[in-house]
Amino acid sequence: MGKRILLTGGAGFIGSAVVRHIMKNTKDDVCVVDKLTYAGNLESLSEVSNNERFTFKRADICIKEGIDVIFSEFQPHAVMHLAAESHVDRSIDGPGEFIQTNVVGTYTLLESARKYYSALEYDKKASFRFHHISTDEVYGDLEGPRDLFREDTPYSPSSPYSASKAASDHLVRAWQRTFKLPTIVTNCSNNYGPYHFPEKLIPLVILNALDGKPLPVYGNGCQIRDWLFVEDHARALYTAMTAGKIGETYNIGGNNEKKNIEVVHAICDLLNELRPRSDGRSYREQITFVQDRPGHDLRYAIDASKIKRDLNWIPRETFESGIRKTVLWYIEHKNGWCKRVQDGSYQRERLGLGIEVAQASGGL
């Protein structure tokens, strides 16, 4: 008999990877709650949609009445909270949605979880967990070339996105300390892999390259990120949720620091090998340097020694193996999943995927 896991944001990039991991590797039941904004794609869940252990509810985490109903009906043993607005550029153009979803939404979900938790019997309380999934961007950036983000690194967010995630982290910890809600927080480095929305650096570069478009690189491309393959992250999240200690924070990183320009060069070189241009020239010729965005952090890097030591997790993919898998996936799915995301048809075809899009009472 497995657990019942309520997973918010499960139609998104990381969330759908977690759902696929749970369905393939455990006996747990999963109820995905997703508002289905532009980044929520039910096709990313199509391979698990017919599994009897999987259910989907369309609901806004900011509307407590609907979330209360889902808690009451599904009776979860754990919550994995991934629902969030996550694109930095969008947060600069319109911060309000980020405050609403990431701060107000997290508060609302915490209150629904607290109400549900308070009514549980003692043995069920002992096993309940609220796992909040966050980002390393809450720490700001690093000055020295050897510095690393650790679980006790002071918060110093630079963008509306990272500030909203920092606020949500603080709320989760406050609910644990004040109300004794059994919470765990994880902060991850930059994810990449299959089903990544094409506005993000790696899928944008792959698809633009294949379409013969410019490959935009902010500033001089020397910003450094620690890259984590999404399937490694999904495995780490499940490990933290099931084996992590209440009240603890675990940083999750890929041990793969790369400059943005190095990432773009790696993609170009793989495409030169796997899908050469018809004119025989290098994809690197499509690189275009553009004006840097405001408040752009220079370097992120995670110290993941705690999760390795305490929970025995390490990434399985190197950047070289992970980026090859990613480029191959986008080549293979360019005229399917990618095309439907790029032309917007994925939003019109939601009901044809065998997934019940049920709206919770009081929801959308």
Question: Quick check: is 324 in a domain?
Answer: no
Whether 139 sits among the annotated catalytic residues: the reply is: no
pLDDT of residue 350: 58
In 9-124 the beta strands, taken as DSSP E runs, fall at 29-34, 54-58, 78-81
Residue 13 and residue 43: Cα distance in Å, rounded?
11
Whether 136 sits among the annotated catalytic residues: the reply is: yes
130 beta partners: 79, 183
Question: Quick check: is 46 in a domain?
Answer: yes
Residue 99 and residue 76: Cα distance in Å, rounded?
27
Instruction: List pLDDT tens digits, range 219-255.
Output: 999 999 999 999 999 999 999 999 999 999 999 999 9
Question: Quick check: is 288 in a domain?
Answer: no
pLDDT of residue 309: 98
**Neighbour order of strands in the sheet with 257-259:** 190-192, 224-229, 257-259
Number of structural domains found in the chain: 1
Residue 134 and residue 123: Cα distance in Å, rounded?
28
Among 139, 161, 250, 346, the active-site one is: 161
Judge whether 21 and 7 are in contact, CB under 8 Å: no
Question: Quick check: is 338 in a domain?
Answer: no
Question: Quick check: is 30 in a domain?
Answer: yes
Element at 217 (helix H, strand E)? strand 215-218
Question: Quick check: is 184 in a domain?
Answer: yes
Q: How many residues does the chain have?
A: 364
The residue ranges of the chain whose pLDDT is under 70 are 349-364
Q: Give the strand pairing for 249-252 and 183-188.
A: parallel
Whether 161 sits among the annotated catalytic residues: the reply is: yes
Q: Counting runs of H as helices and runs of E as strands, what totals does the chain give?
A: 14, 13
**CATH number for 20:** 3.40.50.720
Among 137, 169, 257, 317, the active-site one is: 137
Question: Quick check: is 87 in a domain?
Answer: yes
Among 136, 169, 297, 317, the active-site one is: 136
- Residue 164 domain boundaries: 4-192+228-254+301-318+345-359
Residue type, 152: D
Question: Quick check: is 93 in a domain?
Answer: yes
